Amino acid sequence: MAEAQFGAETSKRGEWVRQANRFTDRITADGSSGWPVEPGRYRLVVSLACPWAHRSVIVRRLLGLEDVLSLGVVDPIRDEAGWRFGLDPDGRDPVTGISHLSEAYLAADPEFAGRYTVPAILDVAERKVVTNDYPQITLDLSTQWAAHHREGAPQLYPEHLRAEIDEVNAEVYADVNNGVYRCGFATSQQAYEEAFERLFARLDRLSERLADQRYLVGDTITEADVRLFTTLVRFDAVYHGHFKCNRQKLTELPVLWAYARDLFQTPGFGDTVDFDHIKRHYYATHHQINPTGIVPAGPDLSGWRTPHGRESLGGRPFGDGTPPA
């Protein structure tokens, strides 16, 4: 399937409407879902450019699931058939043998007519999608896959904080994670400006929340931090200019810039970021926004490694656990 036509996923008012996740089966510890957790059975397919997929890469690394759940990375540039395994020898995923993610979608549902999205977890033997439910994937990696976590893995979704994490995640999703897309893909001035106002109003409230606490919920890294980070790390590189989210750059928001640098410098976060994939995907794939396909040379990325000073707020990134190797 070709990339969705510009405007095809917008309302009559010009508002961006995200495609619902089609495959929502869960992989569970007790196998009651029909898909039991089994080391080596499944493959996580991601684009390093995609913020929704990036979440699963971070969580997989923080929890130490690399030897249990294999990782396939698609080319950042989609072709007319969607995400492809162009980075692998002969253009095929070395584990499943497929050349395009679409093959796994159509194996699961031959009538599927939507966009082929990442992240997706495939059953290796059957070469078909089990789930593309990106919000649930990371939560299940924390809960259903717990028996296979590394020693010292952090508690990213602790039971006593789940209600607060869920509340923060819902607000961040609506106004920030999805908000930047609602700005970038709006097809009317009114829809764009409404999304723009909601985005920066939420960023202002997040700045207030994080001014006196190191992490979003509790005193350790949680799922909430993972979800906000993947948008913040892309903000200046693509969302500020490409998606017209230009009231301020991240580097001009002191609290959020320090918070993002703190996470970037934490093992499991910055070492999973690929700015080359990020920039090439957005600028070379969204032809309706950037018809020339020119990829900007900037921004300067050296600031990501500068001191952030947020240790003074206390908190321990991994709680009683340890960082990934």
* d(C-alpha 272, C-alpha 163), whole Å: 28
- DSSP 8-state secondary structure symbol assigned to residue 131: E
- Coil/strand/helix, residue 237: helix
Q: Give me the DSSP letters along 77-88.
A: S-BTTBSB-TTS
**42 close to 148: Cβ distance less than 8 angstroms:** no
pLDDT digits (tens, 9 = 90+) for 88-113: 999 999 999 999 999 999 999 999 99
**21 close to 137: Cβ distance less than 8 angstroms:** no
* d(C-alpha 144, C-alpha 27), whole Å: 7
List the alpha helices (DSSP H) in 5-81: 51-63
**Tokens of residue 78, six digits:** 């989609």
Q: Is there a binding annotation on residue 116?
A: yes
* d(C-alpha 182, C-alpha 18), whole Å: 9
Q: Is there a binding annotation on residue 115?
A: yes
Q: Is there a binding annotation on residue 234?
A: no
Exactly one of 50, 192, 259, 282 is catalytic; which is it?
50
**pLDDT surpasses 80 at 82:** yes
Contact residues for 143 (Cβ-Cβ < 8 A; gap 6+):
29, 157
* Closest of 229, 228, 222, 230 to residue 161, by C-alpha: 222
pLDDT digits (tens, 9 = 90+) for 229-265: 999 999 999 999 999 999 999 999 999 999 999 999 9
> What is the CB neighbour count within 10 angstroms for residue 31?
11
Predicted confidence at residue 68, as pLDDT, reads 98
The answer to whether 157 is a known catalytic residue is no
Exactly one of 42, 105, 134, 181 is catalytic; which is it?
181
* Closest of 272, 18, 32 to residue 135, by C-alpha: 18
pLDDT digits (tens, 9 = 90+) for 162-175: 999 999 999 999 99
Q: Is there a binding annotation on residue 117?
A: yes
Spell out the domains of the chain, with CATH numbers in brackets. 7-148 (3.40.30.10), 160-313 (1.20.1050.10)
Predicted confidence at residue 261, as pLDDT, reads 98
The amino acid present at 99, given as its one-letter code, is S
Q: Is there a binding annotation on residue 162?
A: no
The answer to whether 239 is a known catalytic residue is no
pLDDT digits (tens, 9 = 90+) for 4-31: 333 457 777 888 788 888 899 999 999 9
* d(C-alpha 94, C-alpha 72), whole Å: 9
- Longest Cα–Cα distance of the chain, Å, equals 55
